[in-house]
Amino acid sequence: MDISALEAIDVHTHAEVSSHGHSSLDDDLHDASATYFKIEGKRKPTLEEMAAYYRERRMAAVVFTVDAESATGTEPVPNEEVAEAAAAHPDVLIPFASIDPFRGRAGVRQARRLVEKFGVKGFKFHPSIQGFFPNDRMAYGLYDVIEETGTIALFHTGQTGIGAGVPGGGGIRLKYSNPLHVDDVAADFPHLKIILAHPSFPWQDEALAVATHKPGVHIDLSGWSPKYFPPQLVQYANTLLKDKVLFGSDFPVLTPDRWLADFAKLSIKDEVRPKILKENAARLLGLTTP
């Protein structure tokens, strides 16, 4: 991957459909998410289409599925397929994986295999959909592997558009995604690289506190148009967290085109803007020297 040729690195994109047309969420939850985010363009691009999309924009993208089979009963897009697509398009796709913490020891073995055989660079957790608190000890075997291998743990935080508007929220509970639960993980695994995904409504201040206090914790800005960012998030991105805030879109629910257009209007310092768009992610992902 030629970092110098890239305009930006999007650290948060979703592989929503497999090569066989299988989706990792049922139609009701997908439809609710589409309504919530007012999705632009094609709803479920393939991995091949995602590679072409980001190549056209001279961007790289971290891509992952979400494994929440124990809670939803739906099989995820295979991690191996995501990793193989990234291997076929190494100029633009960076593979993350997702493992349901309820898989136990089998999940821990799978995590190690995905790093060693398939070269995944990180793991996505969605506590609200997966139905677990990040500081639940059942997930600690996974964190052991992630910390040992130097890969990244990316946690959804805050409210989710998945299940929004569905009766009972589709059974999805928001409480699991308070970033303070990740603070325990950062304390117990001091060398673990962590990303708190999204502006963490209604816990934005908690996320800023954790990222300020714990050296290994970063924040990605995905899932929201920058014009809706709370002022304290912008303030910290410009100052104390200028080296720890990352561009993410949440594609395909929010396109990088829309995100970047709104980000251009945000009051971000000129010297901070390239850090958020590319430099911080390149360093965290090990694509450049520290």
Query: What per-residue confidence (pLDDT) applies to 16?
Result: 86
Q: What is the mean pLDDT of residues 144-152?
A: 98
Query: What per-residue confidence (pLDDT) applies to 47?
Result: 95
Position 154, amino acid: L
Residue 289: phi and psi, rounded to 5, are: -75, 145
pLDDT digits (tens, 9 = 90+) for 96-111: 999 999 999 999 999 9
From the list 51, 57, 54, the residue with the least C-alpha distance to 87 is 51
Torsion of CA 40, 41, 42, 47, to 10 degrees: -90
pLDDT digits (tens, 9 = 90+) for 167-203: 888 889 999 999 999 999 999 999 999 999 999 999 9
**What distance in Å separates the CA atoms of residue 169 and residue 227, rounded to the nearest whole number?**
26
**What distance in Å separates the CA atoms of residue 215 and residue 211, rounded to the nearest whole number?**
7
Residue 26 has pLDDT above 90, yes or no: no
- Alpha-helical segments (H) within 44-103: 47-56, 69-72, 79-88
pTM: 0.92
Q: So where are the chain's domains?
A: 3-284
Residue 266 has pLDDT above 90, yes or no: yes
* HSE-CB for 233 with a 13 A CA cutoff: 27
pLDDT digits (tens, 9 = 90+) for 122-143: 999 999 999 999 999 999 999 9
Query: What per-residue confidence (pLDDT) applies to 158?
Result: 96
pLDDT band at 36 (very low <50, low <70, confident <90, very high): low
Query: What per-residue confidence (pLDDT) applies to 123?
Result: 98
Give 239: exposed, middle or buried? Use CB within 10 Å, 0-12, 13-18, 19+.
Answer: exposed
Element (H, E) at 257: helix 256-263
Residue 234 has pLDDT above 60, yes or no: yes
CA 25 to chain centre: 16
* Mean of pLDDT over the chain: 92
Query: What per-residue confidence (pLDDT) applies to 164?
Result: 80
What CATH number has the domain spanning 3-284? Answer: 3.20.20.140
CA 100 to chain centre: 15
From the list 55, 34, 36, the residue with the least C-alpha distance to 44 is 34
Query: What per-residue confidence (pLDDT) applies to 115?
Result: 98
pLDDT band at 38 (very low <50, low <70, confident <90, very high): low
